[in-house]
Amino acid sequence: MRNGDPASYPFDPVEVAALAAARARVLERIEEAARRAGRAPADVRIVAVSKTVAPSRLRAAVAAGLDLLGENRVQEALGKIDQVPGAAWHLIGPVQSNKARRAVEAFAVVESVDSVALAERLDRIAAEVHPGRPFRVLLQVNVDADPAKAGFPVAGLAAALPRILALPNLEVRGLMTVGRLVATPEAARPTFVALRRLSETLRRDHPSLGPDLSMGMSDDFPVAVEEGATLVRIGRALFGERPRDPRRQDG
Ligand SMILES: *Cc1c(COP(=O)(O)O)cnc(C)c1O
């Protein structure tokens, strides 16, 4: 049993230094991109995508200032969260209905809400798990209409939104998208532009939709920042290559 003694949560100082350097490089690129777009760099937060990364390394990441972590599998995250004190967690992958309760218990934000049914389920559970404190979500949008991707179709979101925004125990902070695999960062730009415009359009009619835009990954986050990202989900540029490419479904 862990007792809160820091010695129970060891990490390697060499890892901390390496991750601090990787974080500094990413922050620098965020700053440059924000400056190009006339935005404040502080308006962009890094979600360090930690799938496949072991808890000991994540403790080093937290010590290096990467304390907002993203996982795309509830089960994998549950095995790690207790071993990484001081981090907040975003879920960025699918929520099966039998894992919804544990997702609400373990994550600060579910970025991957992709149906009214899931939103309603999270709303019901949030009322039980922490009554009086709305649970934060983003709505995932399949901007590119990619059959391999989850998310609301662009046309479906406007219809679903009033029902979701009416749920009393959810706080809808904004929109999220996962871009297609493209050859160059520039090729991802239309996806990011489309998500920003969709957010602007929807918020005109629905002011309670939050302004967050979660978009951009290791290969294209500077472009996403230029186009308005407030959350960039970055895995490989911080932690190095993963064993397999999770965007092709494993994770
Ligand atoms: C893995 C993953 C990321 C991070 O991808 P990198 O290319 O490693 O930066 C971002 N978003 C989602 C939904 C992911 O599954």
Residues having CB closer than 6 A to ligand 1 are 49, 51, 72, 92-93, 178, 217-219, 233-237, 246
Quick check: 235 pLDDT over 60? yes
pLDDT band at 123 (very low <50, low <70, confident <90, very high): very high
Q: Give 129's pLDDT tier (boundaries 50, 70, 90).
A: very high
101 - beta bridge partners? none
Rounded CA-CA distance 79/216 in Å is: 26
Instruction: Indicate yes or no: pTM above 0.85.
Output: yes
Question: Over 90: is that where the pLDDT of 189 sits?
Answer: yes
The kind and range of the H/E element at 152 are: none
pLDDT 10s digits, 11-32? 899 999 999 999 999 999 999 9
Q: Concatenated DSSP letters for 5-46?
A: -GGGS---HHHHHHHHHHHHHHHHHHHHHHHHTT--GGG-EE
**In percent, how much of the chain has pLDDT > 90?**
89
Calculate the CA 141 to chain-centre distance.
13
| Pocket mutation for ligand 1, best pick of 49, 68, 238, 244 (most atoms within 8 Å of C-beta) | 49
